[in-house]
């Protein structure tokens, strides 16, 4: 049970009702994450705008973005974020063996040198904020400045998402949980 009210469409202020109806009108489901943040209606639209920008308009490879998001979800113990992004990651080209070993990626042989550079950078940004010079130089060998900025924004954004989901105990939508279980053959880790 979420620690805050999950704002239902009919209970929302008019501008949020409109936003939720737009989401549903596109055949999508209004996520519990959005319903929780709707308790701050002036923030919700811009919160969503940044997420959509990073998902839809960034030049960073979706596969690398999703590896970073899954790693952030693991580091922050955000089951909701993990569950939502497993299907997206698979669609972006992340392999099942990568998903299964991302918790201990340094020991895994499932990742390319580029992916390892992204994961090392993700770990340092998510855990320490400060990034070692060596880590940054290795990352520069694979990504240009725009991609590095977008990767950094993605790590920060989905780190923020985890910091909303976990402390507010926002529950995973049953449909999302079933989908992730079906894709991986078991409950998401």
Contact (Cβ atoms closer than 8 angstroms) between residue 98 and residue 110: yes
Read off the pLDDT of residues 93-116 as tens digits, 9 standing for 90 and up.
Answer: 999 999 999 999 999 999 999 999
Model confidence at 130, in pLDDT bands (50, 70, 90)? very high
Query: Rounded distance, CA 143 to CA 173, Å?
Result: 35
Angle at 67 between CA 66 and CA 73, to 5 degrees: 85
Closest CA to 71 of 40, 105, 114, 26: 105
Closest CA to 103 of 135, 79, 84, 130: 79
Kindly report whether the global pTM for this prediction surpasses the value 0.85: yes
Read off the pLDDT of residues 34-70 as tens digits, 9 standing for 90 and up.
Answer: 999 999 999 999 999 999 999 999 999 999 999 999 9
In the chain, DSSP finds a helix count (H) and a strand count (E) of 10, 0
Owner of token pair 């080209």: 93
Model confidence at 188, in pLDDT bands (50, 70, 90)? very low
Contact (Cβ atoms closer than 8 angstroms) between residue 77 and residue 166: yes
Q: How far apart are the first and last CA of the chain?
A: 20
Average pLDDT of the chain, as a whole number: 93
Owner of token pair 């009108």: 25
Average pLDDT over residues 155-170: 98
């Amino acid at each position: 049970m979420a620690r805050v009210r999950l704002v239902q469409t009919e209970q929302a202020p008019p501008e949020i009702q409109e936003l939720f109806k737009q989401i549903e009108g596109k055949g999508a489901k209004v996520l519990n994450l959005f319903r929780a943040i709707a308790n701050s209606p002036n923030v919700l639209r811009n919160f969503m705008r940044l997420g959509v920008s990073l998902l839809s308009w960034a030049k960073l490879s979706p596969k690398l973005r999703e590896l970073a998001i899954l790693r952030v979800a693991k580091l922050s113990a955000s089951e909701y974020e993990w569950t939502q992004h497993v299907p997206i990651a698979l669609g972006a080209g992340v392999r099942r063996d990568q998903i299964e070993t991302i918790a201990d990626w340094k020991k895994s042989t499932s990742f390319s040198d580029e992916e390892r550079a992204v994961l090392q950078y993700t770990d340092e940004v998510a855990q320490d904020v400060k990034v070692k010079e060596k880590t940054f130089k290795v990352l520069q060998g694979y990504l240009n400045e725009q991609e590095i900025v977008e990767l950094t924004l993605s790590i920060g954004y989905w780190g923020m998402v985890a910091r909303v989901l976990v402390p507010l105990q926002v529950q995973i939508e049953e449909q999302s949980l079933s989908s992730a279980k079906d894709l991986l053959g078991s409950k998401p880790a």
